[in-house]
Amino acid sequence: MLLQLADISMAFGGVRALSGVSFEVAQGELFSIIGPNGAGKTSMLNCISGRYRPTGGRVLFEGRDITGLTPNHRARLGIGRTFQNLALFGHMSVLDNILVGRHHLLKNNILTGSLYWIGGARKEELAHRRAVEEIIDFLEIQAVRKAIAGTLSYGLRKRVELARAIALRPKLILLDEPMAGMNLEEKEDMARFIIDLNEEWGMTVVMIEHDMGVVMDISHRVIVLDFGQKIAEGTPEAVLNDPQVRMAYLGDVEGDADAPSGQVAQ
């Protein structure tokens, strides 16, 4: 197992965002976390990425307990993420935003960097720029590579944020509602990119997403949270037909189990 969450609890004062949640994610999986608003999904991602330190339980990555590690230490281990609310540097170009994602991979320091031509810094910079250009080509954002990030459409900014997370070269990528606010065409493109990241780039994906059609179409396994507790886990088909999930998330106990997933979500 690449990632293991053991009895994770998270409290903010008297409010319990997560209560004893446990699950595992295998290497190479595309794993989704779903649930109603306020179910604790983003809190769980924050516990994995290190933004929050859980009040109980342990987070293990490749068998190592990382519960007490900071976000930058986790990035070095190979955990990248995107955010529900865009966290780009709006005044910087698309290219520079993506290059920021390579910072923890830089080996040159202020001394060797000052000897740009003879200290290896130039060679390192060229290697990082080649890696960034590969990501730009993959996400089909060549046309906006020099544009200021803050001037782009919402859908393109979401794609740039994904590019920056990929630039970390993660083993595990955490996606917090990567398709929120997108139109149908943008969602189809993003779903294609996520599948290719998983299948061609070999990245394990943990994703929060409200579009049930997308979740059911591309996920290998799904976990459902409700009021901070795990109420179901399994294949998309098994989870979709779980009566407790229908009641808590879809608001439908007697819905047609054979209905298309996109329709059930409405």
Distance of CA 153 to the CA centre of its chain: 20
pLDDT of residue 264: 35
Q: Which CATH class is domain 1-78+175-266?
A: alpha beta
Kindly provide the residue ranges of all beta strands, DSSP E only, lying in the chain, ordered along the sequence.
3-12, 15-25, 30-34, 56-61, 64-65, 79-81, 172-176, 204-208, 221-226, 229-234
d(CA 174, CA 164): 12
d(CA 19, CA 218): 28
**Residue 127: strand, helix, or coil:** helix
Q: How confident is the model at residue 24 (pLDDT cuts 50, 70, 90)?
A: very high
Angle (deg, nearest 10), helices 154-167 and 121-138: 140
Please give the DSSP secondary-structure letter assigned to residue 115.
Answer: S
* Across 102-106, 126-130, 184-188, least confident range: 102-106
Taking phi over 0 as left and psi of -120 to 50 as alpha, with beta for the rest, 160 belongs to alpha
Q: List, by residue range, all CATH 3.40.50.300 domains of the chain.
A: 1-78+175-266
pLDDT of residue 256: 46
Q: How confident is the model at residue 229 (pLDDT cuts 50, 70, 90)?
A: very high
Q: Tell me the whole-structure pTM to 2 decimals.
A: 0.85
